[in-house]
Structure 1
Amino acid sequence: MQIYLVQHGKSRPKDQDPDQSLSPEGEKEVRRIAETAGDYRVPVQGILHSGKKRAEQTARIMSGTLNPAISIEAAQGLGPLDDVQAWKDKLEELNHFMLVGHLPFMQRLASLLVNGDQDNQVIKFQNGGIICLEKEQGWHIKWTLMPSID
Protein backbone atom coordinates (compact mmCIF):
# COMPACT_ATOMS: atom_id res chain seq x y z
CA MET A 1 0.00 0.00 0.00
CA GLN A 2 1.26 3.47 -0.87
CA ILE A 3 0.16 7.05 -0.29
CA TYR A 4 1.64 10.26 -1.64
CA LEU A 5 1.90 13.32 0.60
CA VAL A 6 2.30 16.72 -1.07
CA GLN A 7 2.80 20.13 0.47
CA HIS A 8 1.12 22.70 -1.79
CA GLY A 9 3.33 24.71 -4.14
CA LYS A 10 4.80 28.08 -3.21
CA SER A 11 2.08 30.68 -2.85
CA ARG A 12 1.70 34.43 -3.02
CA PRO A 13 1.94 36.36 0.25
CA LYS A 14 -1.37 36.87 2.06
CA ASP A 15 -1.00 40.68 1.92
CA GLN A 16 -0.85 40.51 -1.90
CA ASP A 17 -3.42 37.73 -2.37
CA PRO A 18 -5.79 36.93 0.53
CA ASP A 19 -6.51 33.46 -0.99
CA GLN A 20 -2.76 32.80 -1.32
CA SER A 21 -2.93 31.40 -4.86
CA LEU A 22 0.14 29.66 -6.22
CA SER A 23 2.89 32.01 -7.28
CA PRO A 24 4.28 31.70 -10.84
CA GLU A 25 7.36 29.99 -9.35
CA GLY A 26 5.11 27.64 -7.35
CA GLU A 27 3.11 26.68 -10.45
CA LYS A 28 6.31 26.04 -12.41
CA GLU A 29 7.80 23.82 -9.68
CA VAL A 30 4.59 21.83 -9.20
CA ARG A 31 4.33 21.24 -12.97
CA ARG A 32 7.94 20.04 -13.08
CA ILE A 33 7.41 17.63 -10.18
CA ALA A 34 4.09 16.41 -11.65
CA GLU A 35 5.75 15.77 -15.03
CA THR A 36 8.59 13.86 -13.36
CA ALA A 37 6.07 11.75 -11.43
CA GLY A 38 4.21 11.18 -14.69
CA ASP A 39 7.43 10.08 -16.41
CA TYR A 40 7.84 7.52 -13.62
CA ARG A 41 4.19 6.47 -14.08
CA VAL A 42 3.29 7.05 -10.44
CA PRO A 43 -0.07 5.24 -10.10
CA VAL A 44 -2.31 7.81 -8.41
CA GLN A 45 -5.89 6.57 -7.97
CA GLY A 46 -7.32 9.77 -6.48
CA ILE A 47 -6.29 13.14 -5.10
CA LEU A 48 -7.66 14.75 -1.95
CA HIS A 49 -6.83 18.34 -0.99
CA SER A 50 -7.54 20.66 1.94
CA GLY A 51 -9.90 22.97 0.07
CA LYS A 52 -7.57 25.96 0.37
CA LYS A 53 -6.89 27.55 -3.02
CA ARG A 54 -3.15 26.81 -3.15
CA ALA A 55 -3.74 23.14 -2.28
CA GLU A 56 -6.55 22.84 -4.84
CA GLN A 57 -4.37 24.42 -7.54
CA THR A 58 -1.53 22.04 -6.69
CA ALA A 59 -3.94 19.08 -6.81
CA ARG A 60 -5.29 20.18 -10.22
CA ILE A 61 -1.79 20.43 -11.68
CA MET A 62 -0.92 16.97 -10.34
CA SER A 63 -4.21 15.57 -11.65
CA GLY A 64 -3.65 17.04 -15.11
CA THR A 65 -0.43 15.06 -15.47
CA LEU A 66 -1.08 11.93 -13.40
CA ASN A 67 -4.69 11.31 -14.57
CA PRO A 68 -6.10 9.67 -11.44
CA ALA A 69 -8.99 7.24 -11.92
CA ILE A 70 -11.01 9.18 -9.34
CA SER A 71 -11.35 12.94 -9.71
CA ILE A 72 -9.83 15.34 -7.21
CA GLU A 73 -11.89 16.55 -4.29
CA ALA A 74 -11.63 18.57 -1.11
CA ALA A 75 -11.49 16.57 2.11
CA GLN A 76 -12.14 17.63 5.68
CA GLY A 77 -9.26 17.41 8.11
CA LEU A 78 -6.32 18.30 5.84
CA GLY A 79 -5.85 21.84 7.16
CA PRO A 80 -2.53 23.03 8.57
CA LEU A 81 -3.45 22.39 12.23
CA ASP A 82 -5.90 19.49 11.85
CA ASP A 83 -5.57 16.26 13.81
CA VAL A 84 -3.30 13.79 12.02
CA GLN A 85 -4.43 10.89 14.20
CA ALA A 86 -7.83 10.99 12.49
CA TRP A 87 -6.18 10.16 9.16
CA LYS A 88 -4.22 7.13 10.37
CA ASP A 89 -7.16 4.71 9.99
CA LYS A 90 -8.62 6.46 6.91
CA LEU A 91 -5.45 5.73 4.96
CA GLU A 92 -6.20 1.99 4.96
CA GLU A 93 -8.91 2.71 2.36
CA LEU A 94 -6.81 5.07 0.22
CA ASN A 95 -4.19 2.97 -1.58
CA HIS A 96 -2.34 5.05 -4.17
CA PHE A 97 -4.10 8.26 -3.13
CA MET A 98 -2.38 11.64 -3.04
CA LEU A 99 -3.08 14.02 -0.17
CA VAL A 100 -2.31 17.69 -0.88
CA GLY A 101 -2.13 19.96 2.11
CA HIS A 102 -0.03 22.14 4.36
CA LEU A 103 2.59 22.20 7.06
CA PRO A 104 2.68 21.30 9.82
CA PHE A 105 -0.07 18.74 9.03
CA MET A 106 1.81 16.83 6.30
CA GLN A 107 5.02 16.68 8.31
CA ARG A 108 3.18 15.49 11.42
CA LEU A 109 1.24 12.83 9.47
CA ALA A 110 4.43 11.43 7.93
CA SER A 111 6.10 11.35 11.35
CA LEU A 112 3.12 9.64 13.01
CA LEU A 113 3.00 6.93 10.37
CA VAL A 114 6.75 6.27 10.13
CA ASN A 115 7.80 6.42 13.79
CA GLY A 116 4.56 6.65 15.77
CA ASP A 117 5.31 10.16 17.07
CA GLN A 118 3.83 13.10 15.18
CA ASP A 119 6.24 15.50 16.89
CA ASN A 120 9.44 13.59 15.99
CA GLN A 121 10.10 14.85 12.44
CA VAL A 122 11.19 12.14 9.97
CA ILE A 123 11.51 14.22 6.80
CA LYS A 124 11.56 17.84 5.69
CA PHE A 125 8.88 18.73 3.16
CA GLN A 126 9.31 21.23 0.34
CA ASN A 127 6.56 23.20 -1.36
CA GLY A 128 5.38 21.16 -4.34
CA GLY A 129 7.35 18.04 -3.43
CA ILE A 130 5.96 14.50 -3.20
CA ILE A 131 6.75 12.01 -0.46
CA CYS A 132 5.71 8.42 -1.08
CA LEU A 133 4.97 6.40 2.05
CA GLU A 134 4.58 2.65 1.77
CA LYS A 135 3.02 0.28 4.25
CA GLU A 136 4.27 -3.27 4.46
CA GLN A 137 4.60 -4.41 8.07
CA GLY A 138 4.76 -0.75 9.06
CA TRP A 139 5.01 2.57 7.23
CA HIS A 140 8.29 3.77 5.72
CA ILE A 141 9.42 6.44 3.26
CA LYS A 142 9.81 4.75 -0.12
CA TRP A 143 10.87 7.76 -2.24
CA THR A 144 10.66 11.53 -2.61
CA LEU A 145 10.55 14.02 -5.47
CA MET A 146 11.53 17.53 -4.42
CA PRO A 147 11.86 20.77 -6.37
CA SER A 148 15.30 21.48 -4.89
CA ILE A 149 18.21 19.47 -3.52
CA ASP A 150 19.37 22.35 -1.29
Structure 2
Amino acid sequence: MVVRCIVLRYSSHIDFAELPLPMKVYLVQHGVNSPEDEDPQQGLTSQAAVDVEKMARFIGQMNQQYEAVFHSDKKRARQTAQILGKHLKHALGVHETDCLGPMDDVDVWLNRILCSDGDPVLVGHLPFLDKLASRLVATDENMQIVSFQNGGMVCLEDNNDNENFAVKWAITPDMLT
Protein backbone atom coordinates (compact mmCIF):
# COMPACT_ATOMS: atom_id res chain seq x y z
CA MET A 1 0.00 0.00 0.00
CA VAL A 2 1.28 3.46 -0.87
CA VAL A 3 0.53 6.23 1.57
CA ARG A 4 0.82 9.74 0.24
CA CYS A 5 2.44 12.08 2.70
CA ILE A 6 3.54 15.68 2.59
CA VAL A 7 5.48 17.70 5.10
CA LEU A 8 3.49 20.58 6.53
CA ARG A 9 4.96 23.77 7.80
CA TYR A 10 3.17 25.84 10.42
CA SER A 11 0.03 27.32 8.94
CA SER A 12 -3.18 28.61 10.43
CA HIS A 13 -5.09 26.61 7.79
CA ILE A 14 -4.52 23.02 6.74
CA ASP A 15 -6.00 21.79 3.46
CA PHE A 16 -7.03 18.21 4.20
CA ALA A 17 -8.69 17.67 0.80
CA GLU A 18 -5.78 15.76 -0.75
CA LEU A 19 -4.51 13.94 2.34
CA PRO A 20 -5.35 10.44 3.53
CA LEU A 21 -6.89 10.76 6.99
CA PRO A 22 -7.30 8.28 9.77
CA MET A 23 -10.89 7.89 10.76
CA LYS A 24 -10.09 8.52 14.45
CA VAL A 25 -7.27 9.73 16.69
CA TYR A 26 -7.27 8.91 20.41
CA LEU A 27 -5.47 11.28 22.79
CA VAL A 28 -4.72 10.18 26.35
CA GLN A 29 -3.18 12.25 29.11
CA HIS A 30 -1.02 10.02 31.30
CA GLY A 31 -2.35 9.05 34.72
CA VAL A 32 -1.52 11.06 37.84
CA ASN A 33 2.17 10.79 38.65
CA SER A 34 3.98 10.47 41.96
CA PRO A 35 5.80 13.54 43.28
CA GLU A 36 9.47 13.69 42.36
CA ASP A 37 10.56 13.38 46.01
CA GLU A 38 8.74 10.01 46.24
CA ASP A 39 9.69 8.73 42.78
CA PRO A 40 12.42 10.60 40.88
CA GLN A 41 11.07 9.21 37.58
CA GLN A 42 7.54 10.30 38.52
CA GLY A 43 5.72 7.07 37.66
CA LEU A 44 2.00 6.56 38.21
CA THR A 45 0.59 6.63 41.72
CA SER A 46 -1.09 3.40 42.82
CA GLN A 47 -4.50 5.08 42.54
CA ALA A 48 -3.65 6.34 39.04
CA ALA A 49 -2.79 2.80 37.96
CA VAL A 50 -6.21 1.66 39.22
CA ASP A 51 -7.94 4.56 37.41
CA VAL A 52 -6.12 3.90 34.13
CA GLU A 53 -6.90 0.18 34.41
CA LYS A 54 -10.59 1.02 34.90
CA MET A 55 -10.52 3.28 31.83
CA ALA A 56 -8.66 0.71 29.74
CA ARG A 57 -11.16 -2.05 30.58
CA PHE A 58 -14.08 0.21 29.70
CA ILE A 59 -12.56 1.43 26.43
CA GLY A 60 -11.49 -2.12 25.55
CA GLN A 61 -15.15 -3.15 25.62
CA MET A 62 -15.83 -0.77 22.72
CA ASN A 63 -14.21 -3.38 20.48
CA GLN A 64 -12.43 -0.73 18.37
CA GLN A 65 -9.32 -1.68 16.37
CA TYR A 66 -6.42 0.72 16.99
CA GLU A 67 -3.31 1.13 14.87
CA ALA A 68 -0.95 1.18 17.86
CA VAL A 69 -0.46 2.80 21.26
CA PHE A 70 2.35 5.38 21.16
CA HIS A 71 3.82 7.04 24.27
CA SER A 72 6.54 9.47 25.30
CA ASP A 73 9.74 8.45 27.05
CA LYS A 74 8.45 9.51 30.48
CA LYS A 75 7.70 6.71 32.95
CA ARG A 76 4.12 7.83 33.66
CA ALA A 77 3.24 7.83 29.95
CA ARG A 78 4.88 4.42 29.42
CA GLN A 79 2.97 2.92 32.36
CA THR A 80 -0.32 4.40 31.12
CA ALA A 81 0.32 3.06 27.61
CA GLN A 82 1.23 -0.41 28.89
CA ILE A 83 -2.02 -0.62 30.87
CA LEU A 84 -4.02 0.52 27.84
CA GLY A 85 -2.14 -1.93 25.65
CA LYS A 86 -3.34 -4.88 27.74
CA HIS A 87 -6.98 -4.06 27.01
CA LEU A 88 -7.09 -2.44 23.55
CA LYS A 89 -6.99 -4.27 20.23
CA HIS A 90 -4.00 -2.83 18.41
CA ALA A 91 -2.29 -4.11 15.30
CA LEU A 92 1.20 -2.76 15.92
CA GLY A 93 1.64 -2.92 19.70
CA VAL A 94 2.76 -0.37 22.28
CA HIS A 95 5.72 1.82 21.33
CA GLU A 96 7.82 4.56 22.86
CA THR A 97 8.27 7.32 20.33
CA ASP A 98 9.64 10.81 20.00
CA CYS A 99 7.83 14.14 19.88
CA LEU A 100 5.13 13.43 22.50
CA GLY A 101 6.76 15.45 25.28
CA PRO A 102 5.02 18.32 27.04
CA MET A 103 6.68 21.08 25.00
CA ASP A 104 7.18 19.28 21.69
CA ASP A 105 6.10 20.78 18.37
CA VAL A 106 2.73 19.39 17.29
CA ASP A 107 3.64 19.54 13.59
CA VAL A 108 5.57 16.26 13.80
CA TRP A 109 2.55 14.31 15.05
CA LEU A 110 0.15 16.27 12.89
CA ASN A 111 2.11 15.03 9.87
CA ARG A 112 2.22 11.47 11.20
CA ILE A 113 -1.52 11.45 11.79
CA LEU A 114 -2.29 12.87 8.37
CA CYS A 115 -0.03 10.27 6.74
CA SER A 116 -1.43 7.37 8.73
CA ASP A 117 -4.01 4.93 7.49
CA GLY A 118 -4.80 3.70 11.01
CA ASP A 119 -6.35 5.00 14.21
CA PRO A 120 -3.46 5.82 16.59
CA VAL A 121 -3.63 6.13 20.37
CA LEU A 122 -1.23 8.81 21.65
CA VAL A 123 -0.35 8.85 25.36
CA GLY A 124 1.28 12.13 26.25
CA HIS A 125 1.35 15.30 28.28
CA LEU A 126 -0.02 18.80 28.53
CA PRO A 127 0.29 21.27 26.93
CA PHE A 128 1.21 19.10 23.91
CA LEU A 129 -2.11 17.20 23.81
CA ASP A 130 -4.11 20.44 24.13
CA LYS A 131 -2.23 21.97 21.21
CA LEU A 132 -2.52 18.88 19.01
CA ALA A 133 -6.27 18.57 19.62
CA SER A 134 -6.69 22.26 18.85
CA ARG A 135 -4.75 22.01 15.59
CA LEU A 136 -6.74 18.97 14.46
CA VAL A 137 -10.15 20.43 15.34
CA ALA A 138 -9.75 24.19 14.88
CA THR A 139 -6.38 24.51 13.06
CA ASP A 140 -5.26 26.89 15.84
CA GLU A 141 -3.11 25.30 18.55
CA ASN A 142 -3.80 28.17 20.95
CA MET A 143 -7.55 27.57 21.00
CA GLN A 144 -8.72 25.38 23.91
CA ILE A 145 -10.89 22.61 22.42
CA VAL A 146 -11.11 20.04 25.22
CA SER A 147 -10.17 19.87 28.86
CA PHE A 148 -7.92 16.86 29.40
CA GLN A 149 -7.89 14.96 32.68
CA ASN A 150 -5.17 12.60 33.89
CA GLY A 151 -5.95 9.10 32.67
CA GLY A 152 -8.76 10.29 30.38
CA MET A 153 -9.15 9.66 26.66
CA VAL A 154 -10.46 11.98 23.94
CA CYS A 155 -11.56 10.60 20.57
CA LEU A 156 -11.24 12.92 17.58
CA GLU A 157 -12.89 11.85 14.35
CA ASP A 158 -12.50 13.06 10.79
CA ASN A 159 -15.74 14.96 10.28
CA ASN A 160 -15.79 14.20 6.54
CA ASP A 161 -15.64 17.82 5.45
CA ASN A 162 -11.98 17.43 4.42
CA GLU A 163 -10.97 20.31 6.65
CA ASN A 164 -10.63 19.10 10.22
CA PHE A 165 -11.57 16.67 12.95
CA ALA A 166 -14.37 16.89 15.50
CA VAL A 167 -14.50 15.74 19.11
CA LYS A 168 -16.48 12.49 19.02
CA TRP A 169 -16.30 11.71 22.75
CA ALA A 170 -14.24 12.05 25.91
CA ILE A 171 -14.09 9.71 28.89
CA THR A 172 -12.40 10.41 32.22
CA PRO A 173 -11.76 8.03 35.11
CA ASP A 174 -14.18 9.90 37.39
CA MET A 175 -17.02 9.20 34.92
CA LEU A 176 -16.65 5.47 35.59
CA THR A 177 -17.88 4.11 38.91
TMscore range, shorter length: over 0.9
1:90 maps to what in 2?
A: 112
3-state SS of 1:81 partner: coil
Give, in angstroms, the shift of residue 52 of structure 1.
0.7
2:166 maps to what in 1?
A: 140
Give, in angstroms, the shift of residue 107 of structure 1.
0.9
Residue deviations 1:56-94 (CA, integer Å, cap 9, x gap): 000000000113111111111000000012221210215
User: Matched residues, percent identical?
Assistant: 40
Question: 5 Å matches for 1:53-68?
Answer: 53-68=75-90
What CA RMSD, in Å, does the superposition of the two structures yield over aligned residues? 1.1
Distance (whole Å) between structure 2 residues aligned to residue 113 and residue 101 of structure 1: 16
Distance (whole Å) between structure 2 residues aligned to residue 133 and residue 67 of structure 1: 18
1:40 maps to what in 2?
A: 62
TM-score normalised according to structure 2 size: 0.81
Contact 2:65-2:91 within 8 A present in 1 as well: no
Question: Which residues of structure 2 form unaligned runs of 5+?
Answer: 1-22
Question: 5 Å matches for 1:1-150?
Answer: 1-92=23-114, 93=116, 95-135=118-158, 136-137=160-161, 138-149=164-175
TM-score normalised according to structure 1 size: 0.95
The change in CA–CA distance for 1:44 and 1:108 in structure 2 (over 3 A counts) is same
Residue deviations 1:29-66 (CA, integer Å, cap 9, x gap): 10011011011113222011011110000000000011
Give, in angstroms, the shift of residue 14 of structure 1.
1.1
Contact 1:3-1:94 within 8 A present in 2 as well: no
